[in-house]
């Protein structure tokens, strides 16, 4: 039995992970859970999976303890220290890193340094500190296994092949809910419209990122670090059916694709059980029912966030950190109706353009750049 820790247990990936665990509970023991402020759902998770330690948002530990029946014996911690405590529990063997945003960096890095294998769904931690995280993982002999459907697909397409034979990687994107919208029509997009993804069930931040195509840009950066592939060899295709999650092309012209129904339980199960596969209960892709598979080049004028991500990783330094930080603030402002949909990319571009280069050589500098990016974005939004 493998002991696992789930960071972000009440989010979309966290809930799906627990669904997988429930299906094969003889294989996994949930020893730690970390959540934010969704205390009612976390209480149900604690009742069902009986972890040793749980972490909640700063200031909510006492409230959560009161919500638990006395018969449940679990340690409750909170804040950044709580996240790191859960991530480094001695009994934990694998950490599912499913927190959303830059908050996932410190606990993920702490877990790697504590010798835990990582099932990674938090792309921002690689965008912010990809070199550091992968170097620490290599030094400690730690496996970093992707949960994102696209990166899981790439991983599966690379297994058994020589990296020297790789020509390029192609990430697919559904195109989100505004694939056919004109630029003028996109100015009137509301949060409700942007959250209505056509194929996937995702959290709010990831859904907005998918609608702007920033999600795909962050995935390009993530793939660069995860697989050690130059950015010029990573491309993005729009694939509205979301049946093919990625392609890998080799130098002899062979193109290998991974297909599955768009359900996150499939890549989650593969990350948890690698190199085995689990017989998870998830919808199967019926090829006979698929009328066609279509592919389009991204419209970079209507979706400028994708080019911003390419620019950030190509120019390097602290710019990917700035990109991630500004995007988080802009997305939150859009959800709070303080920013229009098209202004998300505008704010990110302005923050990136005003950044004075600083090499992120230490964790403290990475966090300093992240703080600067957030403060700069918030200041620009307030002054609109």
Question: Based on the domain organization, do 167 and 20 belong to the same domain?
Answer: no
Residues with Cβ within 8 Å of 99's Cβ and at least 6 positions away in sequence, in order, are 7, 8, 11, 34, 83, 107, 108, 122
Annotate 262-311 with DSSP letters as a single string: S-THHHHHHHHHTTS------PPP-GGG------B---TTT-THHHHHHH
Question: Based on the domain organization, do 228 and 324 belong to the same domain?
Answer: yes
Question: Based on the domain organization, do 90 and 212 belong to the same domain?
Answer: no
- pLDDT score of 203: 83
Quote the CA–CA distance of 157 and 149 in Å, as a whole number: 12
Cβ-based neighbour number of residue 131 at 10 Å: 12
Domain's final residue, options 146, 176, 192:
146
- Is residue 267 one of the residues assigned to a domain? no
Quote the CA–CA distance of 33 and 28 in Å, as a whole number: 14
Q: Are 237 and 295 in contact (CB under 8 A)?
A: yes
Question: Based on the domain organization, do 139 and 31 belong to the same domain?
Answer: yes
- pLDDT score of 202: 76
- pLDDT score of 200: 66
Strands 244-250 and 166-173, sheet pairing = antiparallel
- Is residue 100 one of the residues assigned to a domain? yes
Closest alpha carbon to 87 in 103, 106, 73, 59: 106
The residue whose two tokens read 């698929």 is 290
- Is residue 275 one of the residues assigned to a domain? no
Quote the CA–CA distance of 170 and 249 in Å, as a whole number: 8
Domain's final residue, options 94, 121, 146:
146
- Is residue 22 one of the residues assigned to a domain? yes
User: For 85-132, where are the E strands, in sequence order?
Assistant: 94-97, 117-120
- Is residue 266 one of the residues assigned to a domain? no
Question: Based on the domain organization, do 83 and 201 belong to the same domain?
Answer: no
- Is residue 153 one of the residues assigned to a domain? no
Q: Which domain holds residue 134?
A: 2-146
User: Hey, what are 371's tokens?
Assistant: 């703080």
Question: Per residue in 53-81, pLDDT tens?
Answer: 999 999 999 999 999 998 999 999 999 99
- Is residue 27 one of the residues assigned to a domain? yes
Annotate 161-207 with DSSP letters as a single string: S-GGGEEEEEEEE--GGGTT--HHHHTT--HHHHH--SS----HHHH
- Is residue 353 one of the residues assigned to a domain? yes
User: Hey, what are 8's tokens?
Assistant: 């972000």
Domain containing residue 222: CATH number: 1.10.1740.10
Question: Based on the domain organization, do 141 and 166 belong to the same domain?
Answer: no
Number of domains, the chain: 2
Question: Based on the domain organization, do 336 and 373 belong to the same domain?
Answer: yes
Helix, strand, or coil (residue 213):
coil
Question: Based on the domain organization, do 138 and 165 belong to the same domain?
Answer: no
Per-residue pLDDT of the chain (384 residues; tens, 9 = 90+): 999 999 999 999 999 999 999 999 899 999 999 999 999 999 999 999 999 999 999 999 999 999 999 899 999 999 999 999 999 999 999 999 999 999 999 999 999 999 999 999 999 999 999 999 999 999 999 999 999 999 999 999 999 999 999 999 999 999 999 999 998 999 999 999 999 877 767 789 999 999 999 999 999 999 999 999 999 999 999 999 999 999 999 999 999 999 999 999 999 999 999 999 999 888 999 999 988 999 999 999 999 999 999 999 999 999 999 999 999 999 999 999 999 999 999 999 999 999 988 789 899 999 999 999 999 999 999 998
Quote the CA–CA distance of 125 and 107 in Å, as a whole number: 10
Domain containing residue 123: CATH number: 3.40.50.720
33 forms beta bridges with 6, 54
Question: Based on the domain organization, do 173 and 134 belong to the same domain?
Answer: no
Q: Are 12 and 264 in contact (CB under 8 A)?
A: yes
Question: Based on the domain organization, do 200 and 73 belong to the same domain?
Answer: no
Closest alpha carbon to 309 in 186, 212, 188, 174: 212
Question: Based on the domain organization, do 248 and 319 belong to the same domain?
Answer: yes
Question: Based on the domain organization, do 142 and 46 belong to the same domain?
Answer: yes
Domain's final residue, options 104, 124, 146:
146
């Amino acid at each position: 039995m493998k002991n696992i820790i789930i960071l972000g247990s009440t989010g979309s990936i966290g809930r799906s992970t627990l669904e997988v665990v429930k299906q094969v509970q003889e294989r996994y023991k949930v020893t730690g859970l970390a959540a934010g402020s969704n205390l009612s759902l976390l209480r149900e998770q604690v009742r069902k999976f009986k972890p040793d330690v749980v972490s909640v948002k700063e200031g909510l530990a006492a409230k959560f303890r009161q919500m638990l029946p006395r018969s449940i014996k679990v340690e409750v911690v909170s804040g950044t220290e709580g996240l790191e405590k859960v991530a480094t529990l001695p009994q934990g063997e694998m950490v599912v890193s499913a927190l959303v945003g830059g908050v996932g960096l410190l606990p993920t890095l702490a877990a790697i340094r504590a010798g835990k294998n990582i099932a990674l769904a938090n792309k921002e931690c690689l965008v912010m500190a990809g070199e550091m995280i992968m170097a620490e993982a290599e030094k400690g002999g730690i496996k970093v296994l992707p949960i994102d459907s696209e990166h899981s697909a790439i991983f599966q397409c690379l297994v058994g092949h020589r990296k020297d034979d790789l020509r390029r990687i192609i990430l697919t994107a559904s195109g989100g809910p505004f694939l056919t919208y004109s630029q003028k029509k996109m100015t009137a997009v509301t949060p409700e419209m942007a959250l209505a993804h056509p194929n996937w069930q995702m959290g709010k931040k990831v859904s907005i990122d998918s609608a702007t195509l920033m999600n795909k840009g962050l995935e390009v950066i993530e793939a660069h670090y995860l697989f050690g592939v130059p950015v010029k060899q990573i491309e993005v295709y729009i694939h509205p059916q979301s049946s093919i999650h990625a392609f890998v092309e080799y130098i002899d012209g062979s193109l290998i694709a991974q297909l599955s129904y768009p359900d996150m339980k499939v890549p989650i199960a593969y990350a948890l059980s690698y190199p085995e596969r689990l017989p998870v209960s998830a919808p199967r892709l019926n090829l006979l029912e698929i009328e066609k598979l279509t592919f389009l080049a991204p419209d970079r004028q209507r979706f400028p966030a994708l080019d911003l991500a390419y620019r950030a990783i190509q120019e390097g330094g602290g710019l990917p950190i700035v990109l991630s930080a500004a995007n988080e603030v802009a997305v939150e402002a859009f959800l709070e109706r303080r920013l229009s949909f098209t202004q998300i990319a505008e704010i990110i571009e302005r923050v990136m353009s005003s950044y004075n280069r600083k090499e992120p050589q230490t964790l403290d500098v990475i966090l300093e750049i992240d703080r600067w990016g957030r403060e700069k974005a918030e200041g620009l939004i307030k002054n609109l």
